[in-house]
A = this chain, B = another copy of it.
Amino acid sequence: MPDPRVVIVGATGAVGRVALQVLEERRFPLASLRLCATPRSFGKKLAFRGQDLVVEEANAALFAECDLAFISASTAASRELGRLAADQGCVVIDDSSAYRMEPDVPLVVPEINGDDVGWHKGILSIPNCSTTPLVMALWPLHRVNPIKRVTVATYQSVSGTGAAAMAELDAQARDVLAGKQPAAEAYPHQIAFNVLPQVDAFLDSGYTVEEQKIVDETRKIMHAPEIAISATCVRVPVAVSHSEAVHVELERPMGPDEARALLSGFGGVVVVDDPATSSYPMPIDATGKDDVFVGRIRADASNEGGLVMWVVSDNLRKGAATNAIQIAEEIVKRGAWLRQPV
């Protein structure tokens, strides 16, 4: 079987740059790699496996010469370029919310529903970066003892918004430390030394789009439309890695020891849970790693048989680039990218 020709759309963004690293680290089989971004980056060079790759325009001709496209750009760009790439026979793995909830688009976390890769129609989606760590922590419990209800409060890093927000946190922090009033552009309010209980726009329900994504995507990935979920999504002044405080109610009681064993035995999850040494997952430790880290596993004191846990994961890696590349690996393994006559 030949190796696929791959393109990264959004290669200069926060996720795109990590995708280049992850492709190198995982020795992803490549016939060729091309990089696309917005016009202001055309001609820019990015290093990959000792070579300089030039950033190009994403267009039909380019997609016709590729087999797999990773798209990590704006939702608007995904809407346009995702269909365009698929129409050229390219299998698209999209990082935006553009296609996630469409019935003919698999929404995949390979450790959980890798088989859903099999029925793609040209476009697959990866979950939102706050959903992926949550389902990675829920699934090992859910598959032996169905989860009935989940409440979650998030502590999301600014890199979830992109490179500009990361620069803004940095600039605002410098301003505050210098006694200056910081300017806010990436968010409605200052994020440095503050927390914002808003991620994405508001819906009529009073929840945000981000909070609703957690509900819809978790149900789709786990094939569990009946799970009751409520989320509060909060932006915190952290550069990379999202954290989540999670309450879980299951069909039957589950103790912390059983949960710890199930989570420890699940590939892609690492349990860090030793209160005696103040060991628990934290953004500064999770950043740059592909695993989802779970700790603070304890009985829910407010609900007999329920659980509470603390989940941290690098939103640019497992929350985005790594998960996308893992999906690509599933596709390659199944030969599910081999070109059909267009």
Query: Which A residues contact B (CB, under 8 angstroms)?
Result: 149-151, 153, 155, 169-170, 173-174, 177, 188-190, 193-198, 202, 205-207, 215, 228-230, 232, 234, 236-239, 243, 245, 247, 256, 275-276, 278, 280-284, 295-303, 308, 310
Contact = CB atoms under 8 A, between A and B. Distances in A.
B243 A195 contact: yes
Contact of A206 (B174, B230, B243, B296): B296
Contacts of A301: 205, 207, 215, 228-230
9 contacts: A153-B245, A155-B236, A193-B283, A195-B238, A196-B282, A205-B299, A206-B298, A230-B247, A234-B245
Copies in the complex: 2
A169 to B, nearest CB: 8
A224 to B, nearest CB: 13
Contact of A155 (B155, B189, B215, B280): B155
Contact of A197 (B150, B232, B234, B296): B296
B282 A194 contact: yes
A134 to B, nearest CB: 13
Given A232-B308, A278-B188, A284 B153 contact: no
A205 B190 CA distance: 37
Contacts of A188: 278
A194 B310 contact: no
The 6 closest A-B pairs by CB, nearest first: A206-B298, A153-B153, A202-B275, A230-B302, A188-B278, A153-B245
A297 B206 contact: yes
A219 to B, nearest CB: 12
Contacts of A195: 155, 236, 238, 243, 282-283
A282 B184 CA distance: 14
